[in-house]
């Protein structure tokens, strides 16, 4: 009888061990032989060779418009009927930083120069450019943005003090009257790499509203904005979201294989052209951001690169409320499939 009791006791221990093993694997981790998916380690300081940097450079798919012009002459670039960029003669000097303006006492340079223009309009564009819509954490609604760089003989040029450029464009939505000029503050100046976790938008010291215009052409009307910018590089038309609405933090939880070294998570707003980035939170092993309006309809988007594979995760939240922890299960996708999804936002 004692022998039978001992056998039953051993069986119970084996069953309990099996149950405990099943519970511990309930977190979604699947081991893969000789595969980078086995790496579940989060780190406080992400090194420059982490997959997330290559992911950002790979996702950065935009059409860059390139042209040349004479620095000693006034110039108006026209790109179709929806974008005009106007420069004044003798407005540029050799740059000394990434702010887009030269230092006090800078002298103009002349000769031929190359201009590169990148236009970002949709939520997906801002994700692909890794330039979310926030100003030091405060969410912004955008009416498009631009990256404008001028180079001469391989050196980047900046605007001399008190010079401006004019950007006149038709947006993908009807213009509103309370947009303001913002400039991108970079910690890792593009194009050294697309990923810049510390990037933020800084409002121009002139906080007046951006001018809007209506231009008739035959029986149709062209509407848009007229930005007067004092700096080059990242420029956008933005406005702060309503600060009186109650807000909350949200957390995105992914399987352990998806860490802050290989994954970036964004939140896309439904009613506003707003995209925010969720930063990796080392202490909770999750991705988080703040200032999400309660009752907002949002989409969470995770993009990952693990080894040679890409992963996309999405989750629709119809009503941000008391539940602030959202689970995302990424699926393996081709780069083309991920770009198609981002282009649909």
Tokens 């969410």, located at residue: 139
pLDDT score for 193: 76
Q: Express as a percent the part of the chain with pLDDT over 70.
A: 87
Task: Name the H helices within the chain.
Answer: 2-24, 51-59, 123-128, 335-343
Cα 140 to Cα 248: distance, rounded to the nearest angstrom: 16
Tokens 């061990």, located at residue: 17
Tokens 């001028």, located at residue: 150
Q: Express as a percent the part of the chain with pLDDT over 90.
A: 73
Return contacts of 109-112, CB within 8 angstroms, 24+ apart: 109/71, 109/152, 109/157, 110/70, 110/71, 110/72, 111/70, 111/71, 111/72, 111/152, 112/68, 112/69, 112/70, 112/71, 112/152
Cα 167 to Cα 234: distance, rounded to the nearest angstrom: 12
Task: List pLDDT tens digits, range 291-345.
Answer: 999 999 999 999 999 999 999 999 999 999 977 999 999 999 999 999 999 999 9
Average pLDDT of the chain to the nearest whole number: 88
Instruction: List all residues 6 or more positions away from 287 whose beta carbon is below 8 Å from its beta carbon.
Output: 251, 252, 254, 260, 263, 265, 278, 279, 280, 281, 302
Six token digits for residue 129: 């450019």
* Phi, psi dihedral angles at 13 (to 5 degrees): -65, -40
With bands split at pLDDT 50, 70 and 90, how would you rate the model's confidence at 22?
A: very low
Between helices 335-343 and 51-59, what is the axis angle to 10°?
Answer: 60
With bands split at pLDDT 50, 70 and 90, how would you rate the model's confidence at 20?
A: very low
Q: Answer whether 320's CB lies under 8 Å from 292's CB.
A: yes
Tokens 């780069």, located at residue: 335
Q: Is the dihedral of CA 103, 109, 114, 117 positive or negative?
A: positive
| Residue 11 Cα to chain centre, angstroms | 55
The CATH code belonging to domain 41-58+243-343 is 2.60.40
Domain boundaries of the chain, sorted by first residue: 41-58+243-343, 62-240
Task: List pLDDT tens digits, range 91-116.
Answer: 999 876 555 655 545 788 989 999 99
The CATH code belonging to domain 62-240 is 2.60.220
């Amino acid at each position: 009888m004692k022998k039978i009791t001992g056998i039953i006791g051993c069986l119970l221990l084996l069953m309990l061990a099996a149950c405990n093993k099943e519970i511990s694997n309930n977190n979604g981790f699947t081991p893969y032989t000789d595969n980078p998916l086995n790496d579940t380690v989060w780190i406080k300081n992400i090194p420059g060779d982490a997959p997330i940097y290559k992911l950002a450079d790979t996702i950065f798919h935009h059409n860059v418009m390139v042209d040349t012009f004479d620095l000693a002459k006034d110039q108006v670039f026209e790109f179709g009927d929806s974008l005009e960029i106007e420069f004044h003669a003798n407005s540029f000097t050799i740059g000394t930083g990434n702010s887009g303006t030269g230092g006090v006492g800078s002298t103009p340079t002349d000769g031929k120069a190359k201009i590169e223009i990148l236009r970002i309009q949709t939520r997906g564009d801002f994700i692909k450019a890794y330039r979310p819509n926030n100003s030091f954490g405060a969410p912004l609604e955008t009416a498009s943005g631009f990256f404008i760089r001028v180079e001469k003989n391989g050196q980047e040029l900046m605007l001399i003090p008190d010079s401006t450029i004019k950007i006149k464009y038709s947006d993908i939505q009807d213009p509103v009257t309370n947009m303001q000029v913002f400039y991108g503050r970079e910690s890792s100046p593009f194009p050294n790499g697309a990923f810049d976790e510390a990037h933020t938008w800084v409002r121009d010291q002139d906080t007046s509203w951006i001018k809007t215009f209506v231009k008739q052409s035959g029986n149709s009307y062209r509407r848009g904005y007229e930005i007067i910018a004092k700096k080059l590089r990242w420029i956008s038309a933005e406005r702060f979201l309503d600060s009186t609405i109650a807000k909350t933090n949200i957390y995105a939880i992914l399987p352990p294989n998806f860490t802050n070294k290989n994954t970036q998570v964004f939140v896309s707003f439904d009613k506003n052209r707003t995209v925010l980035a969720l930063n990796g939170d080392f202490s909770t092993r999750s991705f988080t951001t703040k200032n999400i309006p309660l009752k907002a309809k949002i989409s969470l988007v995770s993009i990952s690169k693990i080894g040679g594979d890409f992963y996309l995760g999405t989750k629709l939240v119809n009503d941000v409320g008391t539940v602030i922890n959202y689970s995302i299960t990424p699926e393996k996708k081709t780069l083309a499939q991920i770009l198609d999804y981002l282009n649909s936002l």
